[in-house]
A = this chain, B = another copy of it.
Amino acid sequence: MSTRATERQLIEIIRRAGARGTGVRIGIGDDCAVLEPGAGRLVLATTDLLIEDVHFRRRYATAADVGWKSLAVNLSDIASMGGRPRWALVALACPEGVTVEEAEAFWAGLLELARAHDVAVVGGDTSTSPRGWIVNVTLLGEAVPASVLRSTAKPGDVVAVTGTLGRAAAGLAVLERGAAPPGVAPAALDEVKAAHLRPRPRVREGQWLAAAGGVTAMIDLSDGLATDLGHIAEESRVGTRIELARLPLGAAVRAVAAAVGGDPLAWATGGGEDYELLVTCHPDAFARLVDGLAAATGTLLTGIGEVAASAAGVRYTDAAGREVAVAPGFEHFVTGRP
Contact = CB atoms under 8 A, between A and B. Distances in A.
B51 A134 contact: yes
Given A14-B338, A136-B91, A336-B11, A127 B30 contact: no
A54 B93 contact: yes
A49 B134 contact: yes
Interface of A: 7-8, 10-11, 14-15, 18, 25-26, 28-37, 39-40, 42-49, 51-55, 77-78, 80-81, 83, 87, 89-93, 122-132, 134, 136, 138, 140-141, 143, 147, 149-151, 219-220, 235, 334-338
B30 A91 contact: no
A7 B334 contact: yes
A43 B32 CA distance: 9
B30 A151 contact: yes
A36 B44 CA distance: 9
Copy number in the complex reads 2
B34 A147 contact: yes
Given A30-B149, A32-B46, A136-B138, 16 more contacts: A7-B334, A8-B336, A10-B336, A11-B338, A29-B338, A31-B77, A31-B220, A36-B42, A45-B87, A47-B89, A52-B130, A53-B130, A54-B128, A126-B335, A126-B336, A131-B132
Contacts of A15: 338
A131 B133 CA distance: 12
Given A49-B93, A136-B91, A338 B126 contact: yes
User: Which 9 residue pairs are nearest across A and B when measured between Cβ atoms?
Assistant: A49-B91, A136-B136, A138-B138, A47-B89, A14-B338, A32-B44, A31-B77, A127-B335, A35-B43
